[in-house]
Each structure stands twice: as C-alpha cells, then as structure tokens.
C-alpha cells in the first residue's frame, strides 16, 4: 500500500462517542466503479456497430490512430453511465477496464471525440447505422415486447408512439436553438417508441421553432420500417393532435407501411358545443360519472377529402353543469376529444388506448435527464443530431438490461416493476463496484462481500450474456 497523503478522517462512534479515524491511502489493485459496462460490452458484441463505423473511414481521415469504431463504442459506454459531455471521457483514458469491457484497443481523448463526431456528422451515415444496429440488437436478443390486446378475440398490437419533446437549451448559442412551443429556447426532437417497454426505434433532432408536423410523414414511414426490422406483429401508431394530418393517415393506409392508428384530431374550426349537439342527436352512449357531469361516447364515419375516403372518428364529449365543489356554472362547460382511428373497437377502448400514449412522456424524461441529453454538448446542429442517435443506442441497451431484471427473483428491491427506469439501471447495475483481476490469461470481476446486486449481475451475465462467463 502506498500513502498518497498524510490525511485522516474522523467520525464519531455511535456506541461510546469515541472518534474513529480513517487513514486515506491509495493501493495498487485495479478497482472499477462501473462494472456494468461488462454487460454493455457483451450486448454490443451482438451488433456490427464497430465494424460498420470503421468502414465509413473517409479519405481525409488518413488512417487515424483511434478508429471510428473505437470512438463510437467509447461514447456509447460514456452515455450508458449517464454522461454526455465530451470532457467526461478523460478519466477513462487510463482506465483499463473501460477499454477491456467495451472491447476497444484505446479510449479517445476529449478533443478526438469532439472532432471525430463533427467530421462524420454531416453526411448522416452514422445515424442510419446506429438506428439499424439498435433495431437489429432488439430482435437478435429477443428483448421482451409487450403488446396491447383488444376485443374478445384478443387481437394483438404493438404500440408505436411518436411524439415531439422540447429540449431546453436556454442561454446558449448552439446552432438550431430557437423558441419552442414550451416557451423556452432549445430544440424540438421527435422520437418513436415501440411496445409498452418503450424501445426507441427512430429519432430526429429539429430546430426548436419547427412545426411538429414538418417532415413527420417521412419520419412515420421510416419509423414503421425500423419497427418492422424488430417485429412482424401488427403495429398501432399513436400520435397527438399536433400531427393531425391526412399525410400521416395515408402512410398508415399504404401497403408498404401499413399500420393501424389512433391520431387525436385537431378541432380547428369545430366547436365542442357542436360536437355536444351531435352526440345528443345521435343518442350515443351516455354515462353520468357524477351529478353535474355527463359524458357521451360515440363514433361516426367522416369523409376525408385529401384521402378521398371515409375514416372512422371516435369522440368523447364531456358536459359539466357544476364543479366538484358544487359551484354551479352559468354556462355549461363542454370538452370534446375526437380521434381518427382504423380500429373497430368501442369508443371508450379507443380513448383508453390513446391516453396510454402519455407514457411516452416518461421515455422522453429518461432520455433527457437519466442520460443527460437535454442540454446537448456540441454547438453544431448535425453533431448534436448524431449524439441523439448515440443516445438512442445507449437508451435501448439500458432498457434491455433493466427489463430482463423484472423477470428475476434475485433483485434487491421490494417493489416489483413492469419497467425499470434508466436511472435505476445505471445506479444499481452499471455503477457497480468491483475489482478487476487478471490471472492465467483471464479477466475476472471480483465483487465485494456485501454487494447487494451481485446475485442479479451474476444471473444476468450467465443467462443473457454467455460471453461474460
């Protein structure tokens, strides 16, 4: 043992009020605080990310010391710890375990990482590679995909939720930052999530002031194609009223990108009172949730002139004559929710399915906060777009690890969960301390005697990642 400084820490003993003195020393053993990167590295061996990135070496690169694949894999390893800033790579340059776990020869420096991403971001070739390999990994590892079941015949659909989420980048001069609909300066990227687990299959960075429907039809078609790389189950596209466009419905009706859909309608010039009158005249389903509140459910076929055909519209009309506190309204308050849909199910089922679309807000939150991606690290728009695609790969890797633990019994958490939050996976499985042991040409991770997540880590590596054992 080698002392690095003559320093002592004093703490009070609870039993007899005596002071316990800790001497601070530095040893010569290789310890790591991020053992979970071994799981990430094992998952990445099922992809061709490193090979495909290496194949994109341009003439101007002139055989760099650190390959494109090593740069890309190193940044994924960084993101999987919830670190996105380029400077965060510096502590890992001398960390043997970081390179060994991710199967890279050398870890790039912060300037190398920044310059390389700036160089390759312009042609967007890496973006497609990352999305394709991410989708292929979900399929290859048979990651759990939980569908929704409808009707007495138990029809099965995998939800595909597409939505925009503003990224707050206030007080910065980054390229593309502008006023978002949330009233802050930043970006407005769009995401596509598959199944109840919320695997991200597609993303695109957009300027903050860009309308949510701009180029969205192409994004929808692309997202359906990526989802088809993962599953052949019927898809159920869900979008909010900002994407009430005939072009989105047309994509879903197209034979090449066919999918069922629930899209909330934008009432535009229609009034809630007009829908209330229609509901009363049609004698639709009526229920009184409480005194002073009436709810009407119904559906009808509505001609869509852009598509030259009729599309089913489901509606829920709420009429309130007084509030919960008994306050009587001089004029009844009327709310109207209407949806375009291709499903034949009852109106209340359509409404419930659409409201489940709100879960995608949690997925946005995990990308923005748990992976530290809200304030993107580069000043260049194309580079930030590439970083967002790297974030999708890291997000899906952590999601796969987290979802596999929900089926395990040896998890030191009392509360059972249908979905593990990304932060939970990082805190409990990725940032897990161990000692790196090299013996007889083998590498071992030796965990502490009281490591509560060791059993889970061990079972996971044996069952899902045989390359670790």
Residue 447 lies in a domain: yes
**Burial of 435 per CB tally in 10 Å (0-12, 13-18, 19+):** middle
Residue 122 lies in a domain: yes
Q: DSSP string of 151-174?
A: TTTTEEEEEEEEEE--EE-TT---
Per-residue pLDDT of 92-141, as tens digits, reads: 999 999 999 999 999 999 999 999 999 999 889 999 999 999 999 999 99
Report the C-alpha gap between 250 and 233 in whole angstroms. Answer: 20
Q: DSSP string of 201-244?
A: EEEE--BTTS-TTTTHHHHHHHHHHHHHTT--SPEEEEE-GGG-
Residue 260 lies in a domain: no
50 plus 122 within the same structural domain: yes
Mean pLDDT rounded to a whole number for the chain = 89
Residue in the block written with tokens 């994407």: 243
Please name which of 254, 29, 226, 196 lies closest in space to residue 129, comparing C-alpha atoms: 226
- What are the CA-CA distances from residue 310 to residues 268, 306, 347 (Å)? 19, 10, 17
Contact indicator for 254, 315 with CB cutoff of 8 Å: no
Residue 459, pLDDT score: 62
Beta strands, E only, 305-344: 309-322, 328-341
Domain end (from 342, 361, 391): 342
18 three-class SS: coil
Question: Which tokens is 161 given?
Answer: 């939720």
Question: Which tokens is 463 given?
Answer: 């069952």
Residue 118, pLDDT score: 95
Residue 113 lies in a domain: yes
Residue 300 lies in a domain: yes
Residue 22, pLDDT score: 80
pLDDT at residue 242 is higher than 90: yes
Residue 365 lies in a domain: no
Domain count, the chain: 2
More confident residue, 171 or 443: 171
Domain that holds residue 58: 31-131+379-459
In this structure, the chain runs to a length of: 469
- Here the CATH number for the domain that contains residue 273 is 2.20.25
Residue 468 lies in a domain: no
The CA-CA-CA angle for residues 183, 359, 399, to 5°, reads 110
- What are the CA-CA distances from residue 362 to residues 61, 104, 165, 467 (Å)? 40, 33, 11, 32
127 plus 75 within the same structural domain: yes
Contact indicator for 32, 434 with CB cutoff of 8 Å: yes
Residue 412, pLDDT score: 63
Domain end (from 286, 316, 342): 342
Residue 335 lies in a domain: yes
Please name which of 460, 451, 452, 458 lies closest in space to residue 407, comparing C-alpha atoms: 460
323 plus 391 within the same structural domain: no
Domain end (from 319, 342, 365): 342
53 plus 126 within the same structural domain: yes
Sort strands 235-239 and 155-164 into parallel, antiparallel or unpaired: parallel
pTM of the model: 0.90
């Amino acid at each position: 043992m080698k002392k690095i400084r003559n320093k002592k820490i004093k703490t009070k003993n609870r039993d007899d009020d005596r002071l316990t003195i800790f001497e601070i020393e530095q040893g010569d053993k290789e310890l790591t605080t991020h053992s979970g990167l071994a799981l990430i590295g094992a998952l990445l061996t099922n992809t061709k990310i490193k090979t495909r990135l290496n194949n994109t070496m341009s003439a101007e690169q002139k055989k760099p010391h650190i390959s494109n694949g090593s740069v890309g894999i190193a940044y994924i390893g960084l993101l999987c710890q919830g670190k996105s800033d380029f400077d965060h790579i510096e502590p890992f340059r001398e960390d043997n375990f970081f390179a060994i776990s991710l199967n890279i020869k050398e870890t790039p420096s912060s300037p190398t990482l920044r310059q390389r991403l700036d160089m390759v971001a312009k042609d967007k070739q890496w973006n497609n590679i990352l999305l394709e390999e991410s989708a292929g990994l979900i399929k290859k590892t048979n990651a759990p995909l939980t569908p929704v079941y409808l009707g007495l015949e138990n029809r099965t659909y995998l939800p595909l939720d597409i939505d925009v989420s503003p990224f707050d980048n206030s007080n910065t001069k980054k390229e593309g930052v502008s006023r978002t609909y949330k009233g802050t300066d930043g970006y407005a990227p769009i995401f596509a999530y598959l199944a109840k687990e919320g695997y991200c299959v597609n993303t695109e960075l957009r300027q903050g002031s860009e309308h949510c429907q701009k180029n969205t039809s192409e994004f929808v078609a692309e997202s359906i194609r990526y989802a088809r790389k993962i599953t052949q189950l019927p898809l159920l596209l869900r979008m909010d009223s900002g994407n009430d466009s005939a072009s989105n419905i047309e994509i879903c009706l197209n034979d090449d990108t066919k999918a069922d859909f629930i899209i909330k309608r934008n009432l535009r010039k229609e009034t809630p009172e007009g829908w209330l009158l229609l509901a009363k005249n049609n004698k639709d389903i009526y229920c009184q949730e409480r005194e002073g509140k009436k709810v009407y459910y119904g559906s009808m076929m509505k001609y869509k002139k852009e598509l030259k055909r009729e599309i089913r519209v489901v509606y829920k009309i709420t009429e309130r004559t007084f509030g919960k506190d008994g306050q009587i309204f001089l004029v009844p308050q009327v709310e109207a929710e209407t949806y375009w849909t291709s499903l034949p199910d009852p109106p209340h089922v359509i409404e419930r399915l659409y409201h489940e679309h709100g879960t995608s807000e949690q997925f946005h939150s995990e990308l923005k906060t748990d992976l530290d991606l809200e304030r993107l690290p580069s000043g260049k728009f194309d580079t930030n777009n590439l970083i967002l695609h790297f974030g999708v790969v890291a997000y899906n890797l952590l999601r796969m690890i987290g979802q596999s633990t929900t089926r395990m019994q040896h998890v030191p958490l009392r509360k059972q969960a249908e979905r593990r939050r990304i932060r939970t996976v990082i805190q409990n499985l990725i940032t897990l301390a161990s000692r790196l042991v090299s013996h007889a040409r083998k590498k071992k991770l030796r965990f502490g005697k009281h490591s509560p997540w060791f059993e889970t880590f061990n079972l996971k590596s044996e069952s899902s990642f045989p390359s670790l054992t």
